[in-house]
């Protein structure tokens, strides 16, 4: 097993975690991580604790074992670890749970499962419903070829009335140039920004958010980074590591109870909320309850 330099605290703690896990007699769960750090060591420890007897082993994505005979479940954390396992043909015949990845990075298969960390469309729509409690809001969103299915699974029966208008863009179209016409043609009350490298780059996203501000249409984000600072999104619903980890642990428990890994994917049903209070005031939105509780549930 790979050892790390002992000259820094992070490397020392991570090395200790590796050595402790290596001493386990039976390594049933392999947790693949992108780098050595206290954060990843802590996540791996929580995942391994979910296995019977807490039997498991921590591996770097660049240092996968020569033999996979001792493992019955592999858990990847992050995009780099997921890519490394996907490219290694030996893992085709072992159940693999991917975690802490956007859904665009997931590759489905007979023994594959995932817990995404990007966006739960039902939560974002429910959040907008709280912005406009007296009416059924008209909501807009730009999607791409990989995310055009996202909002089709949201049921108004569970959330309440709303109208959703989505427009599919490709990499040649500039969202900043299209947003004003899109808002005006569809009389939108709010707009949801989804994670998409096809639709957005930093410049076009910033320009689009400024246009939405001028149009007095609040933008709803999936990450606090788009809320903090100046003109951006009014509010974001996002998942911290504890929420994603809890969903992953539930899947691991189910795997050991049933002997099978569910090949469905999932997303946390509860999200943290962060509000740009100055923008909320400019849009005359009452977000005091969201700011008070700091979270929102899907149902």
The arrangement of strands across the sheet holding 112-116 comes to 56-60, 29-33, 73-77, 96-101, 112-116, 265-266
pTM of the model: 0.80
Domains and CATH numbers, the chain: 9-117+241-268 (3.40.50.2300), 121-238+271-297 (3.40.50.2300)
Considering the chain, what percentage of its residues have pLDDT values greater than 70?
Answer: 86
Residue listed under structure tokens 């709010």: 190
- Beta-bridge partner residues of 166: 141
User: Taking all residues of the chain, what is their mean pLDDT, rounded to a whole number?
Assistant: 86
**Nearest in space to 272 (alpha carbons), one of 224, 237, 241, 248:** 237
Q: What is the mean pLDDT of residues 156-185?
A: 89
pLDDT at 23 over 50: no
Question: Is the confidence at residue 21, as pLDDT, over 50?
Answer: no
Tell me the C-alpha distance between 182 and 82, whole Å.
36
Rounded distance between C-alpha atoms, residue 199 and residue 169, angstroms: 6
Distance of CA 274 to the CA centre of its chain: 16
DSSP code, position 66? S
44/297: higher pLDDT: 44
What's the rounded mean pLDDT across residues 95-100? 96
* pLDDT above 90 for 233: yes
Give the pLDDT band of residue 2 (cuts 50, 70, 90): very low
Max mean pLDDT range (58-67, 106-115, 119-128, 171-180): 171-180
Average pLDDT of the segment spanning 87-105: 93
Q: What is the pLDDT of residue 80?
A: 94
- Read off the pLDDT of residues 111-160 as tens digits, 9 standing for 90 and up: 999 999 989 898 999 899 888 888 899 999 999 998 888 887 776 655 66
């Amino acid at each position: 097993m790979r050892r790390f330099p002992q000259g820094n605290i992070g490397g020392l703690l991570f090395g200790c975690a590796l050595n402790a896990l290596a001493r386990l007699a039976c390594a049933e769960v392999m947790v693949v991580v992108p780098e050595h750090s206290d954060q990843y060591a802590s996540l791996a420890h929580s995942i391994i604790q979910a296995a019977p007897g807490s039997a498991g082993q921590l591996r770097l994505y660049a240092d996968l074992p020569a033999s996979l005979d001792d493992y019955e479940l592999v858990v990847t954390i992050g995009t780099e670890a997921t890519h490394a396992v996907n490219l290694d043909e030996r893992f085709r015949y072992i159940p693999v749970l991917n975690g802490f990845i956007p859904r665009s990075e997931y590759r489905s298969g007979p023994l594959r499962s995932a817990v995404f960390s990007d966006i739960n469309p039902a939560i974002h729509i429910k959040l907008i419903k709280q912005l406009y409690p007296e009416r059924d809001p008209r909501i807009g969103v730009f999607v791409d070829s990989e995310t055009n299915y996202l909002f089709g699974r949201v049921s108004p029966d569970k959330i309440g009335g709303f109208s959703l208008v989505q427009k599919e863009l490709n990499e040649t179209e500039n969202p900043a140039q299209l947003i004003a016409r899109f808002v005006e043609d569809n009389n939108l009350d709010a707009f949801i920004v989804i994670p998409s490298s096809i639709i957005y780059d930093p410049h076009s996203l910033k320009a689009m958010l400024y246009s939405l501000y001028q149009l007095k249409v609040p933008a709803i984000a999936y990450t606090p980074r788009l809320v903090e600072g100046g003109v951006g999104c009014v509010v974001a619903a996002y998942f911290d590591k504890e929420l994603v980890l809890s969903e992953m642990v539930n899947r691991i428990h189910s795997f050991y109870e049933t002997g099978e890994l569910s090949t469905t994917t999932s997303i946390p049903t509860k999200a943290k909320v962060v509000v740009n209070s100055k923008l909320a005031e400019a849009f005359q939105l009452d977000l005091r309850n969201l700011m008070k509780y700091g979270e929102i549930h899907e149902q």
